[in-house]
Structure 1
Amino acid sequence: MDWIEALILGLVQGLTEFLPVSSSGHLEIGKALLGVNAEDNLRFTVVVHGATVLSTLIVFRKDILALIQGLFEFKWNESTQYVAKIAFSMIPIAIVGLFFKDQVEELFNTNKILLLVGFMLLITAALLAFTYYAKQKEKDISFRDALIIGVAQTCAVLPGVSRSGSTIATGLLLGNKKAEVAKFSFLMVLVPIIGENILDLFKSDVSQAASMDVSVLLVGFIAAFVSGLLACSWMIKLVKKGKLIYFAIYCLIIGLIAIFVS
């Protein structure tokens, strides 16, 4: 992988991690078009995911700090309940990660990956379109809602199903507040992504990773970090304005193109 490929894929990861268009699907399309090899895939994925985690931490730094301060009050207060809801939402993805990780990884190694991404993008498009016609309510996220949103996040392990799109759309369909749904969606994924990256690091060949050009990884990291900052902030505003229908149209078009090309 050269630095131009790293720049392109880093931008793709940073933008699509937060926009409801499936980062995994777009990364697979990008890797297929650029011809990135499997060894570079793992190391690069770990680096750019780390970049998007950092961008999330910066965007929500005040919220995260408030949650931490609330936890140290050692009371069943609003912060403690919120963290508990996030933990509750992670149960489904934890089950899949612990017991079905190998099966999920096999989906990314199939020679029909573009076809799968295409069909899953159509599902993402349909889910986003439903939110356009759903009646909006303004209720807080309950523990039940958190678990259902967590199930939606688990479905996003499929390449082409958008994690942010599925979780935000599910939250909106449940009648939760728009701003709260966006924040909850981005915060709930921090621990799973960090945990997955740690596991991938243990699986990665350290000697081969050390031989890879650090400047290439740095370019990918910076590209994913900067684009992630912009996309995260932008997505929060878009959810508040209820403009997800445009992403539904985009996913429909890209999904059909992926199916046709495959």
Structure 2
Amino acid sequence: MEIIDAIILGIIQGLTEFLPVSSSGHLELGKAILGADSLPEESLLFTVILHFATALSTILVFRKDVAEIFKGLFQFKWNEETQFSLKIIISMIPAALIGFFLQDFLEVFFDGAIIIVGIMLLITAILLYLADLAKTTDKGVSYRSAFVIGMAQAVAILPGISRSGATISAAVLLGVDKTKSARFSFLMVVPLIFGKVAKDLLSGDINFVGDQAIAMGVGFIAAFITGIAACTWMIKLVKQSKLTYFAIYCLIIGLIAIAWSVWG
């Protein structure tokens, strides 16, 4: 992988992790266009590294929230922070189960299946459009809605289904306030990413190629910096109810991906 390719893919990951347009789907499209998917193992490792970078950018943007959560947890009381943390854990269950039992099956979808990416992007477009039609409320995330949002996150493992789009849409359609939906959506994925990284490192399944270290490091930095910018921007966009614009974008890119796969 060339350094310029790593930078481009890092920027794509940083932007699309938070914008509801599917980071995994765009990464697969980017790899197909750049021809950076020659080794599936290396491709998976690079994807994990980029997701790790955006997880760190999430922590930086929500550093005050994260600090308050840990402060509340160490009080060892049934307070708001403890309840929020429990909801995060509940939301992680569906994706953790699917990732543990169906990982080998899911890897098939991360190997140049562009037509699947296109179809999933169309589904993302529909979800975003429906979410924008939902009424504005001030309702918070309940334990039941946390689990449903977690199910949406599990489905979003498929490339082309936006994780943030699916989880924010699910939360909004359940009547949760849009700003609270975005906050929960961004924070709920951080433990899963760190868990996935730890699992991959301990499993020994990842094949690291030494001469790719610089490219992967540059990709990490690109994803981290653009992730900070995209996360901050997305919070503002959610408050302004601009999901329809992303629905149109996903519709266009999805149709292009399908056309590329069929006639390209």
Q: Is the 8 A contact 1:42 1:200 kept in 2?
A: no
Alignment of 1:156-171 (within 5 A): 156-171=156-171
User: How much has 1:45 moved relative to structure 2?
Assistant: 1.4
User: How much has 1:99 moved relative to structure 2?
Assistant: 1.2
Q: What letter matches 1:238 in structure 2?
A: L
Q: Distance in 1 between matches of 2:119 and 2:78?
A: 43
User: How much has 1:107 moved relative to structure 2?
Assistant: 2.1
3-state SS of 1:226 partner:
helix
The Cα RMSD (Å) is 1.1
Q: What is aligned with 1:137?
A: 137
> Deviation string for 1:91-137 (max 9, x for gaps)?
1111101211111112223x5x1100000000000000001222222
Q: Distance in 2 between matches of 1:117 and 1:213?
A: 26
- Runs of 4+ aligned structure 1 residues displaced above 6 Å come to none
Q: What is aligned with 2:32?
A: 32
Q: Is the 8 A contact 1:136 1:173 kept in 2?
A: no
Alignment of 1:206-221 (within 5 A): 208-209=208-209, 211-221=210-220
Q: What is aligned with 1:44?
A: 46
TM-score when normalising by structure 1: 0.95
Unaligned runs of 5+ in 1: none
Alignment of 1:20-169 (within 5 A): 20-36=20-36, 37-38=38-39, 39-109=41-111, 113-169=113-169
Q: What is aligned with 2:222?
A: 223
Matched, 1:249 2:248: yes
Q: Distance in 1 between matches of 2:84 and 2:132?
A: 27
Q: Is the 8 A contact 2:42 2:206 kept in 1?
A: no
Q: Distance in 2 between matches of 1:147 and 1:130?
A: 20
3-state SS of 1:194 partner:
helix
Unaligned runs of 5+ in 2: none
> Deviation string for 1:24-82 (max 9, x for gaps)?
00000000111112243123212211111110110011100100010011110000000
3-state SS of 1:90 partner:
helix
Q: Is the 8 A contact 1:49 1:197 kept in 2?
A: no
Q: Distance in 1 between matches of 2:96 and 2:7?
A: 31
Q: Percent identity between the aligned chains?
A: 56
Q: What letter matches 2:242 in structure 1?
A: K
